[in-house]
A and B are shown apart, each in its own frame.
Chain A
Amino acid sequence: MSLLIRLLQALALLLFVGAATAEHTSNWAVLVSTSRFWFNYRHLANVLSLYRTVKRLGIPDSQIILMLPDDMACNPRNAFPGTVYSNADRAVDLYGDNIEVDYRGYEVTVENFIRLLTDRLDEDVPRSKRLGSDAGSNVLVYMTGHGGDQFLKFQDAEEIGAWDLADAFGQMWEKKRYHELLFMIDTCQANTMYTHFYSPNIVATGSSELDQSSYSHHADNDVGVAVIDRWTYYVLEFLETQVTSANSKLTLGDLFDSYDMSKIHSQPGVRWDLFPGGEQEGRLRTVVDFFGNVQNVEIENANATDPGSLKEDLAEIARLVEKWRKRDEEYSAILGNSSQSQSEGAQSHTVQLSSKKPVGATKMAEAGSWGKRLVGLSVVGACTAVWVAGSILGRSA
């Protein structure tokens, strides 16, 4: 019997080996807009649209890093305060009730972005501002802004080079911070940004080739500025109309095939060569591998009896608790004074649980003015004495 099970297991193993290597355990998204000011409304709208999509497909806020360098919703020039739209029909308010911006305003810098990717952050940076991905995480990196040949401008003040980005991804790979990575960029000459990548398991796609501009899709006359970029618009159109649920089986190949140059007005690019198996293998990845979230909830069957199941564990834990209580009682019996020992026992249990004592504020003593004045007088006196002595000595010399 057991032999048969072994055999079956081995068979199952053979079947699953392929799937096991392709599987990831979590999804992270890093969505970055790099430009501020009102006329760059569309870049923030791009990012917010994508944010909405990945959230819809199940990536929780805690696994989305959203970087917005400006606040369009509260811009005084916004005719619709508190809202951001990516379409002139203004059907969906992207700002909505629930957006969690992790890096905003002047926090969106090249340095912070690279630190985020490589996790070289201060110890006290909260977890919500960190990319907590690991070797099992699929990471989506989306960037938009104004760029040029092998650079992307951040905030009008600085720029990130294609080399910096490649090195950051290289370091992520070294430290096993991603399983597979989808890099998307919508900017002028976007495809130049991924030319220097060298770490494996990256699929990169951009909106336009070298010496090509990326264009905005349309403007909203009431908002007064362009509200979305073309490439992002058509990517979103695909995601919104075709990838309707987190169980969608559409692949990256389908997504990239949907690029239509006559609509986008620039030549989008895709880079496959870093992906193991190249284009052939990469095309098979589903869109929700990157835009969705894996969450395999495991229900505990209260009636199962196999080893490690809930029931058996419960019995073991109950025994442990029982034993512990006995020890406690013995301990208190030894001590005699039960109440005192209880608290002490509690203390010994919670050695690991007790938190650090907060550092208290320093007490400010009220001015001991006379003491200080005495010090002052003596200092002035000493200086004067030296001075007078100096005058006498100096003159005599």
Chain B
Amino acid sequence: MAVDRRKVAVFGAAFVLRLLLICLFPSLPDLLTGRVEVSTPVNSFKRLQEGLYLYTRNVSPYDGGVFHQAPLLLPLFSLLPDVNSNPIPTAIFYFLVDLVNAHALATISESGQSVQSRLHSAMRKHIRWDGTSVAAWFLFNPFTIATCLARSTSVFTTSGILLAVSNAVSGNTLNAMLALGLASYLSMYPALLFVPLALLCYDQRAQKSAQAPSSGLFILQHGAILSGSIAGLLGLSILITGNFWEFMSATYGFHLLVPDLTPNVGLWWYFFIEMFDSFREFFLGVFWLHLASYVGGLTARLRRQPLFIITSLLGVFAVFKPYPSISDASLYFALLPLYRHLFPLMRYTFFAISALLYSSLLGPAFYHLWIYAGSGNANFFYAITLVWSLGLSILLADSIFAALRDEWEQDHPERKGQEVKQV
């Protein structure tokens, strides 16, 4: 395997940058770990440590109601040395996970699936970044770096999703489903990606083999693999924790019922603080349905570009998840450069990017005003999270529009470059 020098340089630089950051600012990881923008109740490293402490002392990690993450993380982290006395190994472990993610991203990019799939071929194929640039974009994204330094466990979900996609585009559908199973096991919502991912696998398979396999059977088969992998992971978890219902209610129940309304960059917490108690359950249902309803619509509309469905869904999740953090946004931003060819078709990029920049700068400031200075109130921070979500939504809508426009141009090549207007 030929060593790509540029890639090695980028990966090395990213590694060194992270190492430098923790060496120069040793308190930075702990600071980031405590930030609500980075750490939510379901991915916080602090909570993981609490769970780990209980776990290593043979107490159920879910006692005390602090830890809400998947139980298999515990044996994994028990292999690493104690983070308080020796933080470097854990940090390096996270760096490596980041590099693996970047590598998966580079694989996805190099497959060219984003511009040229079985049913679709983009109009502006020439405008694209190579795998290394996409990986660099991911690795040097401040959101990614912050997530990595904060040792948020979302990075494992990210790995699961990216590995699933990279395996899908390289034709290994079995591993794709296994990786998606891992991601779903860790944070549940990636299970919604099953349909587009299966379509992606199907397209890959159909492209390679002479005759396309039956689509229904194919999806059933892969659904079975996915459920098998999730079931296997759950089985392992039962072996570790011993109490099935306890960990189910503490992890997935926690995701579903959203009992912890600690502020985060999402929209749920404020809404459920204000909601009348009697309507709480109803709106939980509404919010989850809202999140899930995009899957069907986007899949139907963008059937020709399954990878783009996955990207857009990840964007949707980053906005409408119950416990979103900037790591979800960083995953979306990581996949977006695959669609460099759509950028010329996007019209609100300036507005979206400035909204995102504005909110990422003002968010911490307003949070400080609210919580520490006491001179603001919850509305300050909530307004900023609204702007953040608005920015992401605009970016998302704009990119979907651009993709549709691209498809339309493909169907009507004669009109390429004409001024268009949405009706």
Residue in chain B with minimal CB distance to A377: B79
Say yes or no: B57 contacts A369, CB within 8 Å.
no
B78 touches A386 (CB 8 A): no
Q: How far is the CA of A367 from the CA of B77 in the complex (A)?
A: 14
Measured between beta carbons, the chain B residues less than 8 angstroms from A364 are 57-59
For B56, what are the chain A residues with a Cβ–Cβ distance below 8 Å? 367-369, 372
- Asked whether, in the complex, the Cβ of A390 is within 8 Å of the Cβ of B59, the reply is no
A378: B residues at CB distance < 8 A:
75
Binary flags per residue of B160-182, CB closer than 8 Å to A gives 1, else 0? 00000001000111111010001
Q: How large is the interface on A (under 10, 10 to 19, 20 to 34, 35 or more residues)?
A: 20 to 34
Asked, given contacts A364-B59, A368-B58, whether A382 binds B236 with beta carbons under 8 Å apart, the answer is yes
Can you name the residue of chain B whose Cβ is closest to the Cβ of A362?
Answer: B59
Taking the complex as formed, is A37 at the interface, i.e. its CB lies under 8 A from any CB of chain B? no
A397 — nearest CB in chain B belongs to which residue?
A: B174
Size range of the chain B interface in the assembly: 20 to 34
Name the residue in A368, A379, A387, A395 with the highest tally of chain B Cβ atoms < 10 Å from its Cβ.
A379
A336 in the interface (beta carbon within 8 A): no
Interface check A7, CB cutoff 8 A: no
Residues of A within 8 Å of B173, CB to CB, are 394, 397
Cα of A376 to Cα of B174 in the assembled complex, Å: 24
In Å, the complex CA distance between A369 and B75 comes to 10
Q: Given the interface contacts A387-B175, A394-B167, does A379 sit within 8 Å of B236 by beta carbon? A: yes
Min CB gap A307→B, angstroms: 57
A366 close to B79 (CB less than 8 A) = no
CA distance in complex: A362, B58 (Å): 11
Contact A394 B78 (CB under 8 A): no
Is A373 touching B178 in the complex (CB atoms < 8 A)?
no
B175–A391 touching, CB < 8 Å: yes
B205 to chain A: closest residue by CB: A397
Q: A386-B178, A387-B178 are in contact. Are A376 and B59 (CB under 8 A)?
A: no
Asked if B72 contacts A379 (CB within 8 A), the reply is: yes
Write the chain A residue with the least CB distance to B167. A394
Main secondary structure of the interface of B (DSSP, over half): helix
Question: In the bound complex, do residue A367 and residue B232 qualify as a contact, i.e. CB atoms below 8 Å apart?
Answer: no
Q: Are A376 and B79 in contact (CB under 8 A)?
A: yes
- From B58, which residue of chain A is reached at the shortest CB distance? A365
A375 at the binding interface (Cβ < 8 Å): yes
Q: Are A390 and B55 CB-contacts (below 8 A) given A373-B78, A382-B236?
A: no
The complex places the Cα of A192 from the Cα of B74 at a distance, in Å, of 60
A380 contacts the other chain (CB 8 A):
yes
Q: How far is the CB of B317 from chain A (nearest CB, A)?
A: 24
Name A393's closest neighbour in chain B (CB-CB): B174
Give min CB distance, B59 to chain A, whole Å: 6
Q: Which residue of A lies closest to B225 (CB)?
A: A390
A368→B74 CA distance, assembly (Å): 14
Which of A366, A372, A382, A395 has its CB near the most chain B CB atoms (within 10 A)? A372
Contacts of B3 in A (CB 8 A): none
Residue of B nearest to A368 (CB): B58
Give the Cβ gap from B231 to chain A, nearest Cβ, in Å: 12
Q: Which residues of B contact A395 (CB under 8 A)?
A: 171-172
- CA separation between A366 and B54, bound complex, in Å? 10
Cβ of B84 to closest chain A Cβ, rounded Å: 14
Q: Does B22 contact A (CB under 8 A)?
A: no
Point out the residue from B76, B171, B175 that lies within 8 Å of A379, measured CB to CB. Answer: B76
Q: Within 8 Å CB of A367, what residues of B?
A: 56-57
7 contacts between A and B (CB under 8 A): A364-B58, A365-B59, A372-B78, A376-B74, A379-B240, A390-B175, A394-B171
With A376-B75, A387-B178 known, 6 other A-B pairs at CB within 8 A are A372-B55, A375-B75, A375-B240, A376-B76, A394-B172, A395-B172
List 5 A-B pairs, minimum CB-CB distance, nearest first.
Answer: A376-B75, A394-B172, A394-B174, A367-B56, A376-B79
B interface residue numbers (CB < 8 A to A): 55-59, 72, 74-79, 167, 171-176, 178, 182, 229, 232, 236, 240
Binding site for B on A (CB under 8 A): 362, 364-369, 372-373, 375-380, 382-383, 386-387, 390-391, 393-395, 397
